[in-house]
C-alpha cells in the first residue's frame, strides 16, 4: 500500500470511531474533535501567561503518544515551536494542552496514565536540535476528554533564556486498555510548522525523525498545535 492510501485508510478509521461496529486493530494517526474549546478551569491563574497558542482550532487532533505496550513501533511525538523574546527569561511551571481521547481496540477511551513534556532548542535551519529539558510521567489535571493542565512540579520548572524553542507533549497511554490521545491542531501557523516523528515507523510514513507534520500525516493535521505556557518572566 502506498503512503497516500495508507494515510487515507488511517484517517477513515479515526473519523468513524463512534459509528463503527468493530474497533480499529491498530492506532489511527488523527481524529476529529468532538468537544468544545478547553476551559482549563484548574489552571494556576496566579502565573503569567508567557505564551498562548490555544486558539483557532482546526477541529482535528494528531497522535502524540507513548503506547506503553507491544506497540512500541507506533510510539510518536508531535512538537511545535515558540520564541522567548529578547531581554526576557522565562521560568515555565505549567503547560495547558488542548487534546482529544479517541477509541482504540480496548473497552474504553482514555484516560492517560501520565504525560511526558519535552523542551528543545531549535536549530537555525528549523526543527528540534538539542533537548533542553524532559519531564516524564507527570500526572496532569485531566478534564476527561483529553485537555490537560500539566503542572511541571517542584524543581521541574524550565528556565529558558531568549531564543527559539520547541515543546513536545506526549501522553503515556495503553492502546489496548485505554485507546489513544491526540494533540489538537490549529489553522494558524505561528513561527515554524508543527513537526512529528515516529522512530519505529509503525505508521509507515517514513517520518522516523522530526519532519513536517502535515507531510507525515496529511492536511487534516497542523500546521500548528494548541498549547499555553504559564510561569514567570523577568
Question: Does residue 19 register a pLDDT over 80?
Answer: no
Return all residues near 216 (Cβ < 8 A) that are at least 6 apart.
Answer: 196, 198, 203, 205, 206, 207
- Range in 30-34, 60-64, 180-184 with the lowest mean pLDDT: 30-34
Above 80 in pLDDT, residue 90?
yes
pLDDT in tens, 219-232: 877 799 999 999 99
Evaluate if residue 8 carries a pLDDT over 50.
no
> Do 27 and 102 touch, CB atoms closer than 8 A?
no
Domain that holds residue 180: 3-233
Q: What is the mean pLDDT of residues 115-121?
A: 98
Alpha helices in the chain (DSSP H): 3-15, 175-178, 213-217
Percent share of the chain, pLDDT over 70 = 88
Residue 103 pLDDT class (50, 70, 90 cuts) = confident
Give the pLDDT score at 176: 86
The beta strand positions in 105-179, using DSSP E, are 114-122, 128-138, 141-142, 148-151, 158-160, 163-172
Side-chain half-sphere exposure of 159, counting CA atoms within 13 A: 4
Q: What pLDDT, on the 0 to 100 scale, is given for residue 21?
A: 36
Residue 124: pLDDT band by 50, 70, 90 thresholds? confident
Q: State the total domains in the chain.
A: 1
Under the banding of pLDDT at 50, 70 and 90, the label for residue 108 is low
What b-and-e string marks burial along 137-151, b requiring 16 or more CB atoms within 10 Å of the CB? ebebebbebbbbbbb
Q: Look over the chain and give the mean of its residue pLDDT values, rounded to a whole number.
A: 88
In the beta sheet, which residues pair with residue 122? 128
Place of cell 508567557: 50
pTM comes to 0.88
Residue 137 has pLDDT above 50, yes or no: yes
Amino acid at each position: 500500500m502506498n503512503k497516500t492510501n495508507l494515510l487515507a485508510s488511517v484517517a477513515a478509521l479515526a473519523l468513524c470511531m463512534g459509528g463503527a461496529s468493530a474497533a480499529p486493530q491498530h492506532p489511527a494517526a488523527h481524529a476529529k474533535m468532538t468537544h468544545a474549546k478547553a476551559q482549563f478551569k484548574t489552571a494556576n491563574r496566579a502565573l503569567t501567561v508567557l505564551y498562548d497558542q490555544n486558539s483557532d482550532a482546526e477541529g482535528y487532533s494528531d497522535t502524540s503518544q507513548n503506547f506503553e505496550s507491544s506497540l512500541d513501533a507506533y510510539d510518536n511525538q508531535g512538537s511545535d515551536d515558540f520564541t522567548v523574546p529578547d531581554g526576557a527569561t522565562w521560568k515555565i511551571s505549567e503547560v495547558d494542552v488542548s487534546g482529544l481521547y479517541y477509541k482504540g481496540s480496548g473497552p474504553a477511551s482514555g484516560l492517560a496514565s501520565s504525560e511526558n513534556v519535552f523542551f528543545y532548542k531549535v536549530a537555525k535551519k528549523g526543527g528540534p536540535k538539542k533537548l533542553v529539558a524532559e519531564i516524564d510521567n507527570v500526572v496532569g489535571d485531566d478534564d476527561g476528554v483529553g485537555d490537560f493542565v500539566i503542572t511541571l512540579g517542584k524543581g521541574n520548572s524550565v528556565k529558558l533564556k531568549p531564543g527559539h524553542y520547541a515543546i513536545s507533549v506526549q501522553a503515556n497511554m495503553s492502546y489496548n486498555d485505554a485507546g489513544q490521545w491526540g494533540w489538537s491542531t490549529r489553522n494558524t501557523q505561528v513561527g515554524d510548522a508543527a513537526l512529528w516523528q515516529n522512530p519505529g515507523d509503525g505508521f509507515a510514513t517514513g517520518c522516523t525523525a522530526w519532519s513536517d507534520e502535515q507531510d507525515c500525516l496529511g492536511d487534516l493535521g497542523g500546521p500548528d498545535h494548541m498549547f499555553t505556557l504559564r510561569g514567570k518572566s523577568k
